[in-house]
């Protein structure tokens, strides 16, 4: 094989290598190569005038539902949705059925992912069965291919177990990801506690349910000296705690999701189950605080918490509906809106959606240096489209952004030099 | 405040009744006025008019209810509609059928109105998205109970001749009370002031946003008011202790004669029922002067007759009686 693709005239944004320039990017045999003086015969040249050429996006927090809930999503369908959203890699959460708490499950996931449309980095469970008791076998999990551990979907209630998880994970070089929720405060809650929960007569989840647990994780990271990653931050209060902890040198990284910087609890109006997730959508003040956190570096990454559910879980009474929304295909457009709003610049977008997730997970990617795998996303920042059910690649359609007019999207995605998504206008 | 049944311009525009918040002051006044004219039917020797003959009304109750279900049923029967009762224990929800599926099956029998009582807030709205029948919310979770709010308004109107300018004190578990929610919205909509009181564990955050003033004590709440309403206290919740004991609650928030001395002399005493006598209300208060608790029940039938009539399009032709 001697296949050369030349991505011409695009704006190459590669913060890992301090590059933001107009030029050409050469891909050969699945890798990025140095440009040559002349275009070889048979090379595929793609003109990318007006487009951005960025390292393949990485979503460090998705639920692919396989094994166990294949009617919602599979590794195949989820990675196709990822490619359509401009992602070349995803980290999949362990709350499948069975839970990914053993090497056998990890190996199954990686086998299913072998020919998928994106790289799949499995995340293992913190505790056996994610039941909050006893550590999973991190050494075995790591050897089988997991890149991090979490009991995502629920918190680790026992503080001693969380401390041990941080210590033991560090011994095996694994990242610990915290789903930060003080369950005794949030139990039975179905949306943010506030104006809307009163109006709708729905049981609220207070801000303190998140901030209390974020504080515990920060305190444990400080105690143990190990790294903790805080998942899906939804509140200004937690953002402040993380900012302060970073200032005093605590080893913490954090992610937020596009819905938290785009929507507020108002989206729940009409008992919209597609606006139900955990943690819940908060207030406008929280939304603004999250945006500032993205701007000032408090947040390292944007992750979608892509959580597919079918109508079986969503077309029901609000308090019985499942938590979560899909996000892979809307993350980039919603983050591009932050760039248009002047909250972040294009370079920062690439950091948040590619460079930093790769660094935090300790995986390849997030860079367009010569020799790197040719995981490349081409973004058309001006392309407008409206989100329809028919247009969604994911097997599930549970998103509050249905019917939205969005601007900017991935138009071409390369995974190891192979095109996994192509939405160029001919 | 001149909207009544003689207002020929008025048209009831709502297909469903889901919450008090959907009604304008004009809507509410018209409903109250119509209910007054229907109330007379219940005092006739033959308590039946043929207005809704041939109409099918289903009472779809997922929670235990004596008063509300019976009230809707009596209202429907007095207007000659055919009524059917389905409760959670007899419905297929026990066999795992979803609310929407059960409702679609009911829909196949072509009911004109489905009256829904359900533990999930917002479930009546969900039904409207899946069936063609008109939906009346007979209490959804901790959201609303609009027909109860209307009958409370009717009762106060009947005794005071007005709502505007009155002050109402509601005492009890405001956080878990759909009745309080509907009452706060309804009374403030018609220009009354509403105060709420109870231990802070019963006071949801942001309750002021509905228009209520939060009072620290029962005494502060009832001082100079025209109406005192006590809410039923649920037994203590296992996972969420709201009060240490009913005994302590009764001492500090129970409505007693002594407490009522702080209110206006002609104060009305109300309770949505069923009463825990000796807890939220002393027996001598429940049965004493000023108590209009049984009027509330009687007016419940009249209000529900008016609602069934309006929702079935009664105002679009012919006279109410």
Q: Verify whether the Cβ–Cβ distance B205 to A193 is below 8 Å.
A: yes
Residue B202 in contact with residue B242, Cβ under 8 Å? yes
Residue B1 lies in a domain: no
Q: Give me the pLDDT at residue A2, please.
A: 66
Question: Given strand B167-171, what is the order of strands in its sheet?
Answer: B212-215, B193-197, B167-171, B227-230, B268-270
- Biggest distance spanned by C-alpha atoms of chain B: 56
- Residue A422 is a catalytic residue: no
- Same domain membership, residue B207 and residue B261: yes
B17-48 in b/e form (b: 16+ CB < 10 A) is bbbbeebeeebbbbbbbbbbbbbebeeeeeee
d(CA B27, CA B307): 11
- Same domain membership, residue B100 and residue B188: no
Catalytic residue among A14, A151, A305, A380: A305
- Same domain membership, residue B91 and residue B59: yes
- Same domain membership, residue B115 and residue B39: yes
- Same domain membership, residue B177 and residue B90: no
Q: Verify whether the Cβ–Cβ distance A199 to B204 is below 8 Å.
A: no
> Mean per-residue pLDDT for B276-290?
93
Residue B1 in contact with residue B153, Cβ under 8 Å? no
Residue A89 in contact with residue A375, Cβ under 8 Å? yes
Interface test mutation site (partner A, options B88, B102, B117, B121, max chain A beta carbons within 10 A): B121
Q: With contacts defined as CB-CB under 8 Å, which chain B residues touch A200?
A: 121-122, 143
Q: With contacts defined as CB-CB under 8 Å, which chain A residues touch B125?
A: 270-271
Q: What is the 3-state secondary structure (H, E, C) of B194-237?
A: EEEECCHHHCCCCHHHHCEEEECCHHHHHCCCCEEEECCCCCCC
Residue B316 lies in a domain: no
Cα-trace Rg, chain B = 19
* DSSP H or E run through A5: strand A4-14
Residue B243 lies in a domain: yes
Q: With contacts defined as CB-CB under 8 Å, which chain A residues touch B99?
A: 316-317
Task: Compute the residue count for chain B.
Answer: 321
pLDDT surpassing 60 at residue B318? no
User: Which one-letter DSSP state was computed for residue A353?
Assistant: I
Q: Model confidence over B82-103: pLDDT tens digits?
A: 999 988 776 666 677 788 888 8
**Pairing mode, strands B212-215 and B56-61:** unpaired
Nearest one of A48, A151, A144 to A381, comparing CA atoms: A48
Q: Model confidence over B65-81: pLDDT tens digits?
A: 889 999 999 999 999 99
Locate the chain B residue with the closest alpha carbon to A185: B240
* DSSP H or E run through B106: helix B99-107
B76-102 in b/e form (b: 16+ CB < 10 A) is bbbbebebeebbbeebebeeeebbbeb
Q: Is A171 exposed, middle or buried (0-12, 13-18, 19+ CB in 10 A)?
A: exposed
Q: Name the minimum distance, in Å, from the CA of B68 to any CA of chain A.
A: 20
Q: Verify whether the Cβ–Cβ distance A317 to B142 is below 8 Å.
A: no
Query: What is the end-to-end Cα distance of chain A in Å, rounded?
Result: 27
Residue A93 in contact with residue A124, Cβ under 8 Å? no
Residue B317 lies in a domain: no
Residue A58 in contact with residue A352, Cβ under 8 Å? no
d(CA A147, CA A324): 23
Residue A201 is nearest to which of B98, B126, B142, comparing CB atoms? B142
Q: The domain containing residue B199 runs over which residues?
A: 146-292
- Which residues make beta-bridge pairs with A385? A406
- Same domain membership, residue B224 and residue B201: yes
A214-239 in b/e form (b: 16+ CB < 10 A) is bbbbbebbbebebbbbbbbbbbbbbb
- Which residues make beta-bridge pairs with A89? A58, A119
Angle, CA A290 vertex, CA A289 and CA A294 arms, to 5°: 120
Low-confidence ranges of chain A (pLDDT < 50): none
Nearest one of B13, B12, B270, B17 to B139, comparing CA atoms: B17
Interface test mutation site (partner A, options B16, B206, B211, B214, max chain A beta carbons within 10 A): B206
- Same domain membership, residue B287 and residue B160: yes
- Same domain membership, residue B124 and residue B209: no
Residue B238 lies in a domain: yes
Name the band, by pLDDT with cuts 50, 70 and 90, for residue B321.
very low
Q: Model confidence over A385-400: pLDDT tens digits?
A: 999 999 999 999 999 9
- Same domain membership, residue B242 and residue B221: yes
Residue A317 is nearest to which of B126, B207, B239, comparing CB atoms? B126
Q: Name the minimum distance, in Å, from the CA of A45 to any CA of chain B.
A: 51
Interface test mutation site (partner B, options A317, A318, A322, max chain B beta carbons within 10 A): A317
Residue B8 lies in a domain: no
- Which residues make beta-bridge pairs with A45? A6
- Same domain membership, residue B64 and residue B190: no
Residue B162 lies in a domain: yes
Q: Give me the pLDDT at residue B86, please.
A: 87
Query: Which residues make Cβ contacts (< 8 Å) with residue A185, sequence separation at least 6?
Result: A205, A206, A208, A209, A212
Question: What are φ and ψ of residue A25, in 5° steps?
Answer: -125, 130
Q: Verify whether the Cβ–Cβ distance B121 to A204 is below 8 Å.
A: no
Q: Verify whether the Cβ–Cβ distance A271 to B99 is below 8 Å.
A: no
Q: Verify whether the Cβ–Cβ distance B210 to A199 is below 8 Å.
A: yes
- Structural domains in chain B (count): 2
| Contact with chain A for residue B99, Cβ under 8 A | yes
Q: Give me the pLDDT at residue B240, please.
A: 74
ipTM of the complex: 0.91
- Same domain membership, residue B161 and residue B24: no
- Same domain membership, residue B125 and residue B183: no
Q: Name the minimum distance, in Å, from the CA of B91 to any CA of chain A.
A: 17
Q: What is the mean pLDDT of chain B?
A: 92
d(CA B157, CA B219): 24
Residue A351 in contact with residue A296, Cβ under 8 Å? no
User: Residue B122 maps to which CATH number?
Assistant: 3.40.50.1370
d(CA B100, CA B117): 14
d(CA B107, CA B103): 6
Residue B124 lies in a domain: yes
Question: What are φ and ψ of residue B90, in 5° steps?
Answer: -100, -10
């Amino acid at each position: 094989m001697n296949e050369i693709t030349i991505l011409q005239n695009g704006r190459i944004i590669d913060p890992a290598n301090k590059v933001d320039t107009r030029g050409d990017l050469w891909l050969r045999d699945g890798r990025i190569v140095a440009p040559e003086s002349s275009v070889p015969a048979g090379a595929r040249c793609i003109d990318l005038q007006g487009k951005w050429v960025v390292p393949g996006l990485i979503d460090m927090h998705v639920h692919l539902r396989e094994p166990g809930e294949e009617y919602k999503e599979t590794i195949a369908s989820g990675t196709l949705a990822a490619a359509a959203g401009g992602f070349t890699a995803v980290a999949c959460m362990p709350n499948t059925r069975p839970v990914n708490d053993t090497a056998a499950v990890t190996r199954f996931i990686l086998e299913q992912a072998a020919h998928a449309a994106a790289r799949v980095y499995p995340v293992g469970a913190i505790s056996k069965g994610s039941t909050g008791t006893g550590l999973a076998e991190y050494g075995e999990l790591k050897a089988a291919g997991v890149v991090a551990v979490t009991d995502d979907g629920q918190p680790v209630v026992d503080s001693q177990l969380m401390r041990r998880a941080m210590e033991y994970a560090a011994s095996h070089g694994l990242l610990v990801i915290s789903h930060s929720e003080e369950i005794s405060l949030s139990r039975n809650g179905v949306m943010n506690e506030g104006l809307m929960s009163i109006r709708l007569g729905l049981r609220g989840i207070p801000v303190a349910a998140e901030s209390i647990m974020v504080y515990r994780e920060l305190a444990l990271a400080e105690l143990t000296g190990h790294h903790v990653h805080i998942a899906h931050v939804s509140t200004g209060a937690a953002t402040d705690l993380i900012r302060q902890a970073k200032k005093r040198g605590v080893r913490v990284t954090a992610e937020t999701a596009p819905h938290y910087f785009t929507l507020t609890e108002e989206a729940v109006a009409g008992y919209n189950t597609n606006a139900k997730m955990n943690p819940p959508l908060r207030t406008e003040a929280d939304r603004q605080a999250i945006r500032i956190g993205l701007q000032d570096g408090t947040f390292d990454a944007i992750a979608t918490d892509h959580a597919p559910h079918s109508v079986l879980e969503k077309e029901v009474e609000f308090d019985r509906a499942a938590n979560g929304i899909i996000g892979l295909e809307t993350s980039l457009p919603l983050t591009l809106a932050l760039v248009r709003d002047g909250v972040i610049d294009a370079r920062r977008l690439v950091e948040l959606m590619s460079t930093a997730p790769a660094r935090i997970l300790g995986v390849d990617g997030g860079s367009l240096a010569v020799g790197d795998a040719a995981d490349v996303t081409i973004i058309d920042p001006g392309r407008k489209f409206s989100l329809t059910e028919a247009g969604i690649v994911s097997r599930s359609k549970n998103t509050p952004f249905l019917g939205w007019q969005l601007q900017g999207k991935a138009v071409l995605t390369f995974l190891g030099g192979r095109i996994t998504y192509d939405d160029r206008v001919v | 405040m001149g909207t009544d049944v003689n207002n020929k311009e008025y048209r009831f525009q709502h297909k469903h009744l889901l919450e008090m918040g959907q009604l304008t002051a004009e809507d509410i006044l018209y409903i109250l006025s119509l209910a007054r004219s229907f109330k007379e039917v219940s005092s006739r020797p033959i308590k039946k008019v043929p207005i809704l003959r041939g109409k099918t009304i289903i009472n779809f109750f997922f929670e235990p209810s004596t008063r509300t279900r019976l009230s809707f049923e009596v209202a429907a029967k007095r207007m000659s509609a055919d009524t059917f009762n389905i409760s959670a224990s007899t419905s297929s929800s026990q066999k795992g059928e979803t609310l929407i599926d059960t409702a679609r099956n009911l829909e196949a029998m072509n009911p004109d109105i489905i009256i829904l009582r359900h533990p999930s807030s917002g479930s009546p709205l969900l039904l409207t998205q899946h069936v063609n029948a008109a939906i009346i919310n007979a209490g959804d979770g901790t959201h609303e109970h609009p027909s109860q709010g209307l009958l409370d308004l009717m009762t106060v109107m009947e005794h005071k001749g007005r709502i505007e300018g009155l002050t109402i004190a509601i005492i009890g578990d405001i956080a878990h009370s759909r009745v309080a929610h509907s009452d706060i919205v309804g009374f403030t909509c018609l220009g009354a002031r509403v105060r709420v009181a109870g231990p802070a564990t019963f006071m949801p955050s942001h309750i002021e946003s509905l228009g209520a003033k939060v009072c620290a004590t029962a005494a502060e709440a009832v001082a100079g008011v025209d109406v005192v309403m006590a809410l039923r206290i649920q037994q203590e919740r296992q996972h969420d202790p709201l009060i240490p004991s009913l005994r302590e609650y009764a001492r500090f928030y129970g409505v007693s004669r002594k407490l009522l001395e702080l209110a206006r002399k002609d104060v009305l005493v109300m309770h949505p029922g069923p009463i825990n006598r000796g807890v939220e209300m002393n027996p001598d208060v429940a049965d004493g002067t000023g108590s209009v608790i049984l009027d509330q029940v009687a007016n419940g039938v009249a209000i529900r007759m008016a609602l069934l009539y309006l929702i079935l399009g009664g105002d679009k032709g012919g006279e109410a009686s």
